[in-house]
Amino acid sequence: MTAGRLRTDEQFVRYWSREVSEAAVMFERRWTLAALKRVNRDVAERLSKQQDLFNRAAVTGTAEEIEGHGAALCRGYAAAVRALEATSEGDDAYILGQDPQSGFTVAIGHQKPAAERVVELHGNTAVWISPDEVATLLAQLEGGKALCTIKRMFPGAEVLDIRTQEPAKSDRGIG
C-alpha cells in the first residue's frame, strides 16, 4: 500500500465516519436499537449488519468499500427513523423524572444525542445526566448512602418527600 493511498483511505474513513455520525444522531436522539427491534426487526437486523460492515471497511477496506458501506449505513439510519416515525413509537433513548414539588426535571440516558431532544421537548431547565453520573452522585452524597441502604432493604421503595428540617412534634407522634 502506498503512502498516497493510505492518506486517501484515512480521509475516506474520517469523512464517512462524520457522515455516519450525523445520520446516527437523528436516530439516537430519540430511540435505541431495542425500540427499532420491537417495531421492525428486519430493519434493526439490517442496520446492525450494515454497522458491522462499515466498521470492518473502516479498518481494513478500500476507499470504495468505505464509501459504499458508509453511504449504505447512512441510508440505514434514515430507514430506521422512518420506520419508527411511521409507527409513532415514543422516544426511548432516555427516561424522565420530575420532582412534583419543585418541577425540577431530569433526563437519564446513555445516548448523548438524546440530550438535545430533551431540551427540544422540555426546555433548558431539564437536566441531562448519564446513569454513571447518577451512580457517582449517589455514592458521594451522604443522603445518597442512606437512600441506597433503604432501597436495598425495601426494593421498589420511592422517595416522595425530603424534609430538610426536624419534623414537627405532631409528625413524631408528640402532642
The residues, any chain, with a CB within 8 Å of residue 137's CB and separated by 6 or more, are 144
User: What pTM does this model have?
Assistant: 0.74
Return the domain boundaries, the chain: 3-86, 95-167
Q: Residue 50: CA atoms inside 13 Å, Cβ hemisphere, count?
A: 22
Per-residue model confidence (pLDDT) at position 23: 97
Per-residue model confidence (pLDDT) at position 166: 65
Length reported for the chain: 175
pLDDT tens string, the chain, 175 residues long: the values are 334 444 567 888 999 999 999 999 999 999 999 999 999 999 999 999 999 999 999 999 988 999 999 999 999 999 999 999 999 999 999 999 998 888 899 999 998 899 999 999 988 889 999 999 988 888 888 777 778 888 888 888 887 777 766 665 555 555 5
- Rounded to an integer, what distance in angstroms lies between the CA atom of residue 9 and that of residue 169? 74
Distances (CA, A) of 12 to 8, 55, 104: 6, 13, 45
